[in-house]
Structure 1
Amino acid sequence: MCYRAQQMGALLGILSTNYATAVEVNTPASPPDMERGAAAPTETSKLMTHTKVFKDGNVHLRLAAVFMGIWMLGLGLVYAFGESLRLNCLTAMYRMYLAFFGAFIIALETRGPFNYLLRTWRVYEFARFLTLVWGRGIFYLYVGSLCFQVWDLPGVLLGSATCLIGLCMIVYGRSATVKLQYMQGQFTTEKDLRRAFDAFDVNRSAALEPAELAALCREMGALLTRAELETALLMLDRNANGKIEFDEFAAWWQGFQGGARTATGV
């Protein structure tokens, strides 16, 4: 019995030592001191594991939109070719519109040469609502409704799927916008804004990574879900590089201060 008691005592000692070590390692640091520009909470480092997902925005919705765009492009071209063989010029032209919208959706939801062309052609300047997630959702509702004019099974399925994606984007976009608006009101001067930005720029890259943006939102009381954070990143990231520079952050805040509510996605 004495020997077993000694074994149990040794085992409990090992477990208590391991527990103390684990607590010491996993205990989060105190909140950042913005006055001194201290580093953001260690919770930010945990969020860094999701950075790759956050950089591409709401991955599932965007992939679904790209798939719908490819489907729409192919279907429009096939229908246009068939109508042109029957010399139905007006109908063929309408089908080409579907193909054009499909290609346009692919360009909207992909980061790379297509997105660069949209910026070069100043599409976002003349159609600013397309830079906002909920704005693209409304656009997809419109395009989806056009697909119902092709009253066959592929057209109805395509229109239904496109409208569903549009509705999801509107819901996510509006939810993230409301929480970002709350956070906007927490800053009274641009100096406060700069101080907060620098405090949460953990890697000192002069830009907020998606995980750093998440930590800033949490500190300001805007508890964004993962999907809402992805949507918020899309709204703030005007140059589509996956990060939030201070100029983008300041432009968003100044839009709120000056009453230009379109800058916040409203």
Structure 2
Amino acid sequence: MEEAQITSPGTSVSNPKVLIMMADYGHDPTETAVPYTTFKNANYAISFATETGRPPRCDKKLLEGFTQKLFGASKEVISMYRKMALSEEMRHPLSWSAPDFTLDSFDLVLFPGGHDKGVRQIIDSPIVHRLVADYFPQTRRPSKKVIAAVCHGVMVLSESKDAEGKSVIRDCNTTALPAKFEQAAYWSTRAVLGDYYKTYGHGSANVEESVKKVLADPSQFKASLNPGAFTVEDEQYNYISAWYPGDAEMFADEIIKLFESFHRII
């Protein structure tokens, strides 16, 4: 019996090809480095992509200074981040604005989140919206392609519309940063950090509100009374979403479990 392989339509690969889509600056280091490290340890083939191919940098408020100590990345995550930042794949990302760029060759496309206003570069990008609108239907089961997003990363999907102007996740079960978490973080830090925790500025809609409004029914937005790690896997599409940095390990593990379910004996 030969070794079980993870495969996706039209491919015969042992290790999934992963693309982490990022803005130039501002993503949460935990939501980026933890999945990256998990996939690297699983021998997945990882690439990054930014708008013009410049190496991305995560939010420095979460990596250094008093803000890191108060609510930023742990020392373990900072170590993961530094190793990731030195990797060839992060130092030499692809360009998602290149004329010939496509998501089609990837088995997993992942969108980390982040509060810094820099992440609006990817959330608001018409180019990314078009790429996602092309890719997302390819994840419909029984496909073996996967798309995943955490926190503000879900807004990239919610803002990506099909030819009829409907969000690609309109019919999906999903989660994202809960309004109660976003509001608590915003009001508890506003005196020191201003509107840092409101990516679109004071008075703008919460992430939860932004996502719910594009769904066919608000009940598709899933939450939990348990403050622990939380992820949602859709039933129609290979789509996994998560709340916030505290979910990063579980988020990555659930993605790996999904790929493991695609194993077939050759």
Please give the TM-score of this superposition, normalised by the length of structure 2. 0.23
Q: Which structure has the larger Rg?
A: 1
TM-score (norm 1): 0.23
The structure with the greater share of residues assigned to helix is 1
Task: Answer 1 or 2: which has greater strand percent.
Answer: 2
